[in-house]
């Protein structure tokens, strides 16, 4: 009898690795043509060739250079297709054991020379405190749109850090997201806690060619350095939340963050698609 | 039960309280991988 081709989006070893480390780096899962199409679409959005929704663009601190564009599927049919692809959403659905919906999506761009750092944090801490995400049942998928190496400020993760929750000190200021999107100061672990985590778990840089997919658990501690090389760094970022883990009222803030940061209301499950993106 | 007491109740049962006066380390109370792996898992 012919062996049956596995249908699961991950191997057993990859699933175990994600469980142990809290992240997974997948290479060569998109074709060169698909990656080129996504890079071209990303450039068009950033360069003003697309009409973008009001409030969906964040600029670098002290400049007008685009740092982030939110609500990708709503603003681009190609990124909408990417977000529903089996190689992205299919993996999220497997990891979360439920139908998934997009909690947040964005295009991140770290320009050469001036790209600023993202300080160490757990996404779940913010999503729980400020968005009202009840449990740790969400996963982030970051598709690299430029080559990421040790020099141009790649994502760094602390493997195994997702196994404990660092409850951060300090009240949430009103409208915290307006400053935290540029520089996060509330909802970050202390130097002491970060030192202990790094000594215990180490730090891994998620490097790879454009087209590499990085998946990480909502509670994995991560951050990135600034980029003083001439080479920009860019990625498309989707957060999938289990439909059963839909948002409630915030647990640690007076008011929920805006819709472009956290999808509220009745979740619309992603319809998983297979085949080439473009 | 009033809305305010419901909210107090919800927050008191929160397994991941944060933004409090002091930093705390709490154990994770959720799985990381929620599906059982098998070759034909969707």
Contacting residues of A for B34, CB less than 8 Å apart: 95-98, 137, 242
The pTM of the full predicted model, rounded to 2 decimals, is 0.93
Minimal Cα–Cα distance from A84 to chain B, Å? 14
Contacting residues of A for B19, CB less than 8 Å apart: 129, 167-172, 186-187, 252-253
Q: Does A242 touch chain B (CB under 8 A)?
A: yes
Q: Does B12 touch chain A (CB under 8 A)?
A: no
Query: pLDDT at position A166, please?
Result: 97
Query: pLDDT at position A168, please?
Result: 95
Say whether A164 and B30 touch across the interface (CB within 8 A). Answer: no
Best B15, B30, B31, B36 residue to mutate vs chain A (most A CBs within 10 Å): B30
Query: pLDDT at position A136, please?
Result: 98
Which chain A residue lies closest to B18 (C-alpha atoms)? A167
Which chain B residue lies closest to A86 (C-alpha atoms)? B42
Residue-averaged pLDDT of chain A: 92
Query: pLDDT at position A22, please?
Result: 98
Residues A106 and A68 sit within 8 Å (Cβ to Cβ): yes
Q: Does B41 touch chain A (CB under 8 A)?
A: yes
| Residue A73: φ, ψ to 5° | -60, -30
Query: pLDDT at position A4, please?
Result: 45
Query: pLDDT at position A97, please?
Result: 96
Residues A172 and A188 sit within 8 Å (Cβ to Cβ): no
Say whether B39 and A8 touch across the interface (CB within 8 A). Answer: yes
Query: pLDDT at position A181, please?
Result: 62
Query: pLDDT at position B35, please?
Result: 93
Q: Does B2 touch chain A (CB under 8 A)?
A: no
Distance CA A244, CA A239 (A): 15
Radius of gyration of chain B (CA): 17
| Contact residues for A219 (Cβ-Cβ < 8 A; gap 6+) | A22, A122, A123, A124, A125, A136, A161, A162, A165, B28
Q: CA triplet B22, A120, A102: central angle to 5 degrees? A: 100
Query: pLDDT at position A261, please?
Result: 92
Which chain B residue lies closest to A190 (C-alpha atoms)? B23
pLDDT in tens, A1-29: 444 445 678 999 999 999 999 999 999 99
B32 → closest Cβ in A19, A190, A242: A19
Which residue numbers in chain A have pLDDT < 50?
A: 1-5
Query: pLDDT at position B11, please?
Result: 83
Contacting residues of B for A171, CB less than 8 Å apart: 19
Say whether A8 and B38 touch across the interface (CB within 8 A). Answer: yes
Say whether B32 and A193 touch across the interface (CB within 8 A). Answer: no
A55: left (phi over 0), alpha (psi -120 to 50) or beta: left
With residues binned 3-state (H G I as helix, E B as strand, rest as coil), the percentages for chain B, rounded to 5, are: 25, 10, 65
Which chain B residue lies closest to A99 (C-alpha atoms)? B42
Distance CA B31, CA A2 (A): 35
Say whether A166 and B7 touch across the interface (CB within 8 A). Answer: no
Say whether B42 and A93 touch across the interface (CB within 8 A). Answer: yes
The answer to whether the Cα torsion of A11, A12, A15, A16 is positive or negative is negative
Distance CA B5, CA A94 (A): 37
pLDDT in tens, B4-41: 888 888 888 999 999 999 999 999 999 999 999 888 77
């Amino acid at each position: 009898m012919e062996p049956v081709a596995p249908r699961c989006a991950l191997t057993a070893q990859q699933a175990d690795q994600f469980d142990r480390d809290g992240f997974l780096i997948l290479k060569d899962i998109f074709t060169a043509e698909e990656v080129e199409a996504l890079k071209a679409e990303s450039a068009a959005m950033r360069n003003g060739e697309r009409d973008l929704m009001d409030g969906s663009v964040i600029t670098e601190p002290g400049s007008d250079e685009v740092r982030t564009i939110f609500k990708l599927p709503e603003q681009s049919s190609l990124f909408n297709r990417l977000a529903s692809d089996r190689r992205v959403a299919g993996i999220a659905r497997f990891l979360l054991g439920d139908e998934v919906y997009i909690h947040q999506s964005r295009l991140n761009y770290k320009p050469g020379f001036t790209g600023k750092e993202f300080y160490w944090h757990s996404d779940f801490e913010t999503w729980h405190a400020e968005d009202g995400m009840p449990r740790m049942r969400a996963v982030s998928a970051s598709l690299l749109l430029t080559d990421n190496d040790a020099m141009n400020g790649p994502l760094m993760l602390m493997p195994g850090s997702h196994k404990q929750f660092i409850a951060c000190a300090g009240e949430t200021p009103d409208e915290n997201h307006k400053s935290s999107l540029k520089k996060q100061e509330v909802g970050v672990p202390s130097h002491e806690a970060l030192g202990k985590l790094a000594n215990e778990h180490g730090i891994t840089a998620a490097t790879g060619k454009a087209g590499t997919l990085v998946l990480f658990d909502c509670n994995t501690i991560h951050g990135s350095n600034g980029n003083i090389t001439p080479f920009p760094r860019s990625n498309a970022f989707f957060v999938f939340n289990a439909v059963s883990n839909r948002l409630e009222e915030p647990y640690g803030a007076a008011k929920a963050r805006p819709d472009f940061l956290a999808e509220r209301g009745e979740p619309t499950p992603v319809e998983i698609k297979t085949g080439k993106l473009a | 039960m009033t809305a305010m007491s419901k909210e107090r109740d919800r927050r008191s049962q929160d397994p991941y309280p944060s933004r409090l006066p002091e930093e705390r380390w709490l154990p994770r109370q959720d799985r990381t991988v929620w599906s059982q792996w098998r070759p034909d898992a969707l």
